[in-house]
């Protein structure tokens, strides 16, 4: 007989199924994947020059999601010892025992395999191999080799997080052009301000588990200076899509300039007040919004109406300049 206080068996079963699914989803670090996919999507739009094939777009996003989910699951497996100690990560599915190690391994293998099959079948081999390279780089170079051994861990290891746009570009064109490498460069240079801002306000947690993040070893002042330098390098790299590559036009230019102002302001504030964790938190949060909107502006800019706007404005400017030079 059913106990009058406990919920009926079917409700409990539903709750259990829901909790299991939730645990596996958490293992993939889903919120981070959203932004990785936004960068992939931007590459698909740019490479398609306004003629996006919805099947390619969907397959690339799904394949990219599967690969990133596999990479994050393996990272959770590898780091479960330190994740158990850090407050921020202690409730993750592996340290809290909600998912078994063996099951997580199988899950990661299945995700990686499905990613390869999907990308290779619907797009091409290069895109599939690049996604697998992203997993290998993130797991071996970042998680295994650098994370616990170098203050430059996220600079070099951060290259893994810059691979998704290469996957997107390759999925559309079958190759990786200069424009794809510029997208890679933008995300590569964005990663230090993104992560070190966070590392400044959770420095003690990393110190507790002996992970040599820059603020732990070199202090906040050095980290804030590095953030300042990388911010400018990253902003300079965003120009390359306009000149010399000519991939983006007016919508992107206006957005990139507007979005860069708060970035510089927050990095500047941190430079002057590097112990202020609220400023660091605000820069970390803004770095995410910045990348999301910058990629959105690239996608918008690739659409025919935006190309038309850029063309019309360029023509008017040219006419104006020739009138000015005639008058001079």
Ligand X SMILES: CC(C)=CCC/C(C)=C/CC/C(C)=C/COP(=O)(O)OP(=O)(O)O
Give the interface with ligand HEM as residue ranges (CB under 6 A). 31-32, 35-36, 39, 88, 142, 154, 157-158, 161, 187, 191, 194-195, 198, 288, 291
3-class DSSP state for residue 81? helix
Which of 68, 256 has the CB closer to ligand X?
68
Stretch that binds ligand X, among 127-135, 181-189, 246-254, 256-264 (CB under 6 A): 127-135
Tell me the DSSP string of 22-33: HHHHHHT-HHHH
Cβ 269 to ligand X, closest distance in Å? Answer: 25
Which of 115, 179 has the CB closer to ligand X?
115
Cβ 223 to ligand HEM, closest distance in Å? Answer: 13
* String marking each residue 32-71 x if it binds ligand X according to CB under 6 A: x---x------------------------------xx--x
Pick from 159, 96, 186, 171: nearest CA to 126: 171
Which of ligand HEM, ligand X, none sits in contact with 131, Cβ below 5 to 8 A by type?
ligand X
Query: Residue 96 phi/psi, 5° resolution?
Result: -90, 0
Half-sphere exposure of 174 (CA within 13 A, CB side): 3
Spatial CB neighbours of 286, under 8 Å, sequence gap ≥ 6:
262, 263, 266
Cβ 128 to ligand HEM, closest distance in Å? Answer: 20
Among all chains, which residue has been given the structure tokens 């259990």?
A: 16
Among all chains, which residue has been given the structure tokens 């202020």?
A: 276
Interaction of residue 161 with ligand X, rule CB under 6 A:
yes
Cβ 162 to ligand HEM, closest distance in Å? Answer: 6
Among 99, 119, 131, 146, binds ligand X (CB under 6 A): 131
Which of 72, 302 has the CB closer to ligand HEM?
72
Count Cβ atoms within 10 A of the Cβ of residue 129 and give its class: 0-12 exposed, 13-18 middle, 19 or more buried.
middle
Cβ 36 to ligand X, closest distance in Å? Answer: 6
The residue sitting closest to ligand HEM, measured at its beta carbon, is 161
The answer to whether the beta carbons of residues 172 and 56 sit under 8 Å apart is yes
Structure tokens at 35: 């932004």
């Amino acid at each position: 007989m059913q106990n009058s206080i406990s919920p009926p068996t079917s409700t409990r079963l539903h709750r259990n199924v829901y909790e299991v699914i939730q645990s596996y989803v958490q293992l993939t670090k889903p919120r981070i994947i959203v932004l990785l996919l936004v960068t992939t999507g931007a590459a698909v739009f740019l490479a398609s020059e306004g003629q996006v094939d919805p099947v390619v777009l969907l397959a690339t996003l799904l394949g990219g999601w599967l690969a990133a989910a596999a990479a994050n699951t393996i990272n959770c497996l590898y780091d479960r010892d330190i994740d158990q100690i850090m407050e921020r990560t202690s409730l993750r599915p592996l340290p809290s025992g909600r998912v078994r190690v063996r099951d997580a391994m199988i899950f990661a293998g299945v995700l990686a395999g499905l990613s390869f099959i999907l990308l290779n079948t619907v797009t091409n081999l290069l895109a599939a191999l690049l996604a697998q390279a992203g997993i290998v780089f993130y797991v071996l170079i970042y998680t295994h080799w650098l994370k616990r051994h170098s203050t430059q861990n996220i600079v070099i290891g951060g290259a893994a997080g810059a691979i998704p746009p290469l996957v997107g570009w390759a999925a559309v064109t079958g190759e990786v052009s200069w424009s794809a490498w510029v997208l890679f460069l933008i995300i590569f240079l964005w990663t230090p301000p993104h992560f070190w801002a966070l590392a400044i306000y959770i420095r003690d947690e990393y110190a507790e588990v002996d992970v040599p993040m820059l603020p732990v070893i070199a202090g906040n002042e050095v980290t804030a200076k590095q953030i300042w330098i990388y911010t400018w390098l990253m902003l300079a790299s965003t120009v390359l899509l306009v000149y010399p590559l000519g991939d983006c036009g007016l919508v992107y230019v206006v957005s990139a300039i507007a979005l860069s102002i708060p970035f510089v302001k927050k990095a500047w504030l941190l430079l002057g007040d590097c112990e202020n964790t609220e400023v660091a938190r605000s820069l970390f949060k803004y770095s995410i919004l910045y990348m999301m909107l910058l990629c959105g502006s690239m996608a918008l800019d690739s659409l025919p109406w935006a190309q038309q706007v850029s063309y019309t404005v360029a023509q008017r400017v040219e006419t104006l300049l020739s009138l000015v030079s005639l008058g001079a």
